[in-house]
């Protein structure tokens, strides 16, 4: 149930830092469950979004989510503008500061449009209703004879009053009851469903867009921090004499870690403050620090992964989902197929590394940050400085990429602590080396599968065991088993119509900060599942796409509750967002229809296919590769997506292109290793991300038309990519690669 409330101009100013025009609206909705596995620190359950209209007719729409490249600063306001009949040319988008009045501002989990689409429509409809009533009052006619059209209200005989002229009067009217709001028929949408250019396009092409790293305050110092090379190391000895002599360096500060789990707390380190970034980096390079050892300072990722593999191959784990009798079915099978897959740690590497700026005064702390989580940032800064949360203001800049890294506000806490110490504004700049060595790493994994086939090539049993360090360990070090939310990302939620199925987990204690990265556990699990289905298809001598469709089986709504598994459904109810296998099958068929899947290819080339349901959307990918003389080239990638109703198709295509390239990048190159507790990669030379030369010249994206509620877009394109490429490699050259990245086996 929505409650519409008017907010005062003062309140609007507090929330956005921008003085409001005449009419200010707000909406409150009960909070929504967070994506399982993602800790949310926002205290508020209410959600507020604000529209204001200036006397000159400018409609100001607040973007309360963070722009990291998805186009959300355009897509959400675009819904409001459409529903309220505003002229997009006269809309100004204002970035919200952190405030629980907006409900969750945590921009991850591919849920900005899916959670806020109805709210944005209500906001627009409420504004439109008030404007229509104001016009009716002005003319002394019934409101039913007044209709908003393109920034004006049109009355009887075609008379009109502009939104700007009506704003002051509209602001005095009582708020409409939500139940009385009349929504525009979707067939009348002018903006929703159209690819409006993003509001930041001009700024981004002339170098005027402001990211976290572009914030500059008078008297500001720049800080570079040398952090403990391994988790939970502490400063044992520090020699800063040489650093102090570097021109421009003003101060050296020891940043001690707080005890407890990593959480969003800064890693222990030594900060060098200087008058410019270069001096800070040089001074920091001159530090001599000895670090204490910790229980993680021997972490060796190769040995660790071997151990996880031994565990999943060695015996049964804890059963997480069970149907029928897998052991019996395996014992009586015509053919048993077995495979083990391993995937490495990954780093986010957004093009803009983490950067935050803070200013401390008697009134509290003000922070500017490229953050995906404004409210968690605010809370973390308040906690670190012992301030009331109201004494912390968080300004959200544009993000030069996020991918989940900037959901963790440790870097903003560093800036706040240093600003409080220095008594001057401080900007903390993470170098690329800092970013890669000290990331919240994406979990590595080991997965073991056994499949039983009957004489007809049908799957009669599916056994899957995994071990992967859980995100939960970052917040509670006693956690070592992946959560239901984690396993709900493909591994335990496989949509297969097989009579016997069992999903098991083994523990995998964390030795590094584990975090979520674009599409999260779907990355390793869709790789394991997507490759193993392909292996079964080949064992059964069936076409892989037809085999997938057979394995998914009849059209039905999935419900795992009878099998002991509590499926997260990405925080939404199965009533609102059913897991419908008909839609999954439809993306497979749509893609299969668009690629020459069965046309014979020259020797050394092959097609590979995979599909994944994630973030309530379905995405299928087919890749065509060539393997020749040890060199692997991806020649084509095609993706089909069903993400329900689409608000901005151009941005959805862009997310598909980008998400697929992200998947290609991790499939070919992505790997972080640890030795002696330290990440062994540090920059783009040893942690390569895809370059234009690696990207297939042909990438095609198809969006399935749908009137279902909007579902995730930013993450779903990534998971099926890696298995599609590995499967294509098998088709091309007969080599079955069961680990990532593929660059371990081929020249990529």
Q: Which of 278, 475, 597, 702 binds other proteins (CB under 8 A)?
A: 278
Which residues in the 167-196 window bind other proteins by CB under 8 A?
195
Q: Which of 19, 45, 351, 603 binds other proteins (CB under 8 A)?
A: 351
β-bridge partners, 678: 675
278 phi, psi to nearest 5 deg: -60, -45
Binding track, positions 298-337, relative to other proteins; x by CB under 8 A: ----------------------------------------
Q: How far is CA 249 from each of CA 75, 243, 276, 434, rounded to the nearest angstrom? A: 44, 7, 8, 19
Minimum CB distance to ligand FES, residue 350 (Å): 7
671 binds other proteins (CB under 8 A): no
- Residue 630: is it exposed, middle or buried by C-beta count within 10 angstroms (0-12/13-18/19+)? exposed
Tokens of 483: 């959560």
DSSP of 44-88, one letter per residue?
A: -------EEE-TTSPEEEEE-S--SSS-HHHHHHHHHHHHHT--G
Residue 197 touches which member of other proteins, ligand FES, none, C-beta under 5-8 Å by kind: other proteins
Q: Which is nearer to ligand FES, 201 or 351 (CB)?
A: 351
Q: Which of 258, 351, 557, 603 binds ligand FES (CB under 6 A)?
A: 351
Residues 6 or more apart whose CB falls under 8 angstroms from that of 503 comprise 319, 320, 321, 322, 464, 465, 487, 491, 492, 494, 565
Q: Which is nearer to other proteins, 206 or 237 (CB)?
A: 206
Binding track, positions 660-699, relative to ligand FES; x by CB under 6 A: ----------------------------------------
Size of the residue set binding ligand FES (CB under 6 A) = 3
- Residue 241: is it exposed, middle or buried by C-beta count within 10 angstroms (0-12/13-18/19+)? exposed
Q: Which of 277, 294, 335, 706 binds other proteins (CB under 8 A)?
A: 277
Tokens of 3: 């409650």
401 binds ligand FES (CB under 6 A): yes
Minimum CB distance to other proteins, residue 643 (Å): 17
24 binds other proteins (CB under 8 A): no
* 563/320 Cα distance (integer angstroms): 9
Q: Which of 87, 138, 173, 211 binds other proteins (CB under 8 A)?
A: 211
Binding track, positions 49-68, relative to ligand FES; x by CB under 6 A: --------------------
Q: Which is nearer to ligand FES, 209 or 590 (CB)?
A: 209
Q: By C-alpha distance, which of 611, 667, 666 is closest to 642? A: 611
Minimum CB distance to ligand FES, residue 284 (Å): 17
400 binds other proteins (CB under 8 A): yes
Which residue has 């297939």 as its token pair? 696
Q: Which of 149, 208, 236, 631 binds other proteins (CB under 8 A)?
A: 208
Size of the residue set binding other proteins (CB under 8 A) = 66
Residue 747 touches which member of ligand FES, other proteins, none, C-beta under 5-8 Å by kind: none
Q: By C-alpha distance, which of 414, 17, 442 is closest to 223? A: 414
DSSP 150: T
Minimum CB distance to ligand FES, residue 198 (Å): 11
Q: Which is nearer to other proteins, 128 or 442 (CB)?
A: 442
β-bridge partners, 182: none
Residue 447 touches which member of ligand FES, other proteins, none, C-beta under 5-8 Å by kind: none
* 306/529 Cα distance (integer angstroms): 20
Q: Which is nearer to ligand FES, 470 or 658 (CB)?
A: 658
Residue 208 touches which member of ligand FES, other proteins, none, C-beta under 5-8 Å by kind: other proteins
Q: Which is nearer to other proteins, 129 or 701 (CB)?
A: 701
71 binds ligand FES (CB under 6 A): no
Binding track, positions 54-73, relative to other proteins; x by CB under 8 A: -------------xxxxx--
Binding track, positions 685-724, relative to other proteins; x by CB under 8 A: x---xxxxx-x-x-x-------------------------
Tokens of 412: 């903003």
Q: Which of 21, 26, 69, 354 binds ligand FES (CB under 6 A)?
A: 69
Q: Which is nearer to ligand FES, 280 or 393 (CB)?
A: 280
Residue 256 touches which member of ligand FES, other proteins, none, C-beta under 5-8 Å by kind: none
* 460/492 Cα distance (integer angstroms): 17
Q: Which is nearer to ligand FES, 198 or 326 (CB)?
A: 198
704 phi, psi to nearest 5 deg: -75, 130
Are residues 513 and 507 in contact, defined by beta-carbon separation less than 8 angstroms? no
Tokens of 350: 């957004």
Q: Which is nearer to other proteins, 352 or 739 (CB)?
A: 352
660 binds other proteins (CB under 8 A): yes
Binding track, positions 580-619, relative to other proteins; x by CB under 8 A: ----------------------------------------
Tokens of 138: 């002005």
Q: Which of 306, 338, 684, 744 binds other proteins (CB under 8 A)?
A: 684
Q: Which is nearer to other proteins, 305 or 699 (CB)?
A: 699
472 binds other proteins (CB under 8 A): no
Tokens of 392: 């912390």
DSSP 745: T
CA dihedral (731, 520, 32, 476) positive or negative: positive
Are residues 84 and 50 in contact, defined by beta-carbon separation less than 8 angstroms? no
Q: Angle 374-385/410-422 helices, nearest 10 degrees?
A: 40
Burial 390-417 (b: 16+ CB within 10 A, else e): ebbbbbbbbbbbbbbbbbbbbbbbbbbb
Residues in the chain: 748
What is the chain's alpha carbon radius of gyration, rounded to the nearest angstrom? 27
Q: Which of 17, 142, 156, 197 binds other proteins (CB under 8 A)?
A: 197
Tokens of 384: 């670190």
Cα angle 463, 592, 635; round to 5: 95
* 121/79 Cα distance (integer angstroms): 6
Q: Which of 421, 657, 673, 702 binds other proteins (CB under 8 A)?
A: 657
Are residues 453 and 305 in contact, defined by beta-carbon separation less than 8 angstroms? no
Q: Which is nearer to other proteins, 543 or 657 (CB)?
A: 657
Are residues 36 and 112 in contact, defined by beta-carbon separation less than 8 angstroms? no
Rounded (to 5) percent helix, strand, coil in the chain: 35, 25, 45
Residue 190 touches which member of ligand FES, other proteins, none, C-beta under 5-8 Å by kind: none
DSSP of 232-274, one letter per residue?
A: T--EEEEE-HHHHTSTTEEEEEEEPPPSS--TTPPPSEEEEEE
Q: Which residues bind ligand FES (CB under 6 A)?
A: 69, 351, 401
Q: Which residues bind other proteins (CB under 8 A)?
A: 67-71, 195, 197-198, 200-211, 213-214, 216, 222, 247-248, 276-279, 281, 349-353, 398-403, 429, 431-432, 650, 654-655, 657-662, 665, 683-685, 689-693, 695, 697, 699
């Amino acid at each position: 149930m929505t409650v519409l409330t008017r907010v005062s101009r003062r309140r609007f100013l507090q929330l956005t830092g921008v003085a409001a025009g005449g009419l200010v609206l707000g909406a409150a909705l009960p909070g929504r469950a967070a994506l399982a596995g993602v800790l949310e620190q926002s205290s508020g359950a209410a959600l507020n979004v604000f529209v204001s209209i200036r006397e000159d007719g400018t409609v100001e729409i607040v973007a309360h989510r963070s722009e990291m490249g998805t186009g959300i600063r355009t897509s959400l306001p675009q819904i409001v503008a459409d529903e309220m009949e505003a002229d997009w040319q006269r809309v100004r988008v204002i970035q919200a500061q952190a405030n629980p009045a907006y409900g969750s501002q945590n921009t991850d989990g591919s849920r900005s449009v899916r959670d806020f689409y109805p709210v944005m429509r209500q906001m627009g409809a409420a504004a439109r209703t008030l404007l229509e009533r104001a016009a009716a009052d002005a003319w002394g006619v019934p409101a039913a004879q007044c209709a908003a059209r393109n920034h004006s209200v049109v009355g009887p005989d075609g008379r009109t009053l502009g939104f700007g002229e009506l704003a002051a009067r509209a602001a005095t009217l009582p708020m409409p009851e939500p139940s009385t709001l009349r929504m525009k028929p979707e067939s009348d949408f002018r903006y929703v469903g159209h690819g409006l250019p993003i509001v930041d396009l001009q700024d981004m092409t002339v170098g005027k867009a402001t990211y976290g790293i572009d914030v500059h305050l008078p008297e500001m110092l720049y800080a570079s921090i040398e952090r403990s090379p391994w988790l939970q190391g502490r400063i044992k000895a520090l020699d800063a004499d040489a650093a102090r002599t570097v021109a421009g360096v003003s101060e050296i500060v020891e940043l001690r870690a707080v005890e407890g789990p990593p959480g969003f707390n800064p890693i222990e380190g030594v900060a060098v403050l200087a008058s410019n970034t270069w001096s800070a980096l040089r001074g920091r390079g001159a530090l001599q620090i000895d670090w204490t050892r910790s229980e993680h300072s021997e972490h060796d990722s190769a040995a660790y992964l071997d151990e996880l593999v031994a565990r999943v191959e060695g015996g049964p784990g804890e059963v997480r989902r069970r149907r029928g009798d897998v052991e019996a079915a395996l014992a009586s099978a015509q053919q048993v197929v077995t495979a083990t897959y391993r995937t490495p740690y990954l780093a986010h590497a957004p093009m803009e590394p983490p950067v935050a700026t803070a200013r401390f005064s008697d009134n509290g702390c003000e922070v500017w940050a490229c953050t995906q989580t404004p409210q968690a940032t605010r809370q973390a800064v308040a906690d670190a400085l012992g301030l009331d949360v109201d004494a912390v203001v968080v300004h959200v800049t544009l993000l030069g990429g996020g991918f989940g890294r900037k959901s963790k506000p440790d870097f903003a806490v560093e800036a706040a602590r240093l600003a409080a110490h220095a008594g001057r504004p401080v900007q903390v700049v993470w170098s690329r080396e800092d970013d890669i060595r000290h990331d919240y790493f994406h979990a590595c994994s080991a997965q073991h599968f056994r499949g039983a086939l009957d004489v007809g090539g049908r799957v009669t049993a599916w056994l899957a065991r995994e071990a992967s360090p859980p995100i939960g360990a970052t917040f509670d070090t006693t956690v070592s088993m992946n959560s239901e939310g984690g396993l709900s990302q493909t591994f335990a939620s496989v949509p297969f119509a097989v009579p016997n199925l069992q999903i098991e987990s083994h523990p995998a204690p964390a030795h590094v900060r584990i975090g979520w990265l674009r599409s999260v556990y779907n990355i390793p699990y869709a790789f394991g599942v997507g490759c193993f289905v392909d292996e079964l298809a080949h064992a059964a001598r069936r076409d892989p796409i037809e085999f997938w469709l057979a394995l998914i089986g009849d059209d039905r709504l999935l419900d795992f509750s009878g099998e002991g598994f509590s499926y997260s459904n990405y925080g939404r109810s199965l009533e609102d967002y059913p897991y419908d296998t008909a839609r999954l099958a439809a993306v497979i068929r749509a893609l299969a229809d668009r690629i020459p899947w069965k046309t014979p290819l020259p020797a050394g080339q092959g097609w590979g296919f995979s599909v994944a349901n994630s973030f309530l959307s379905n995405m299928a990918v087919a890749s065509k590769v060539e393997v020749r003389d040890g060199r692997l080239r991806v020649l084509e990638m095609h993706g089909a997506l069903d993400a329900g109703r689409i608000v901005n198709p151009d941005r959805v295509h862009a997310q598909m292109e980008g998400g697929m390239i992200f998947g290609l990048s991790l499939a070919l190159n992505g790997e972080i290793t640890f030795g002696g507790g330290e990440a062994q990669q540090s920059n783009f030379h040893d942690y390569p991300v895809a370059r234009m030369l690696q990207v297939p010249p042909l990438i095609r994206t198809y969006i399935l038309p749908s009137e279902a509620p909007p579902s995730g877009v930013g993450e779903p394109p990534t998971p099926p990519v890696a298995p599609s490429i590995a499967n294509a490699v098998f088709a091309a050259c007969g080599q079955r690669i069961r680990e990532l990245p593929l660059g371990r086996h081929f020249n990529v």
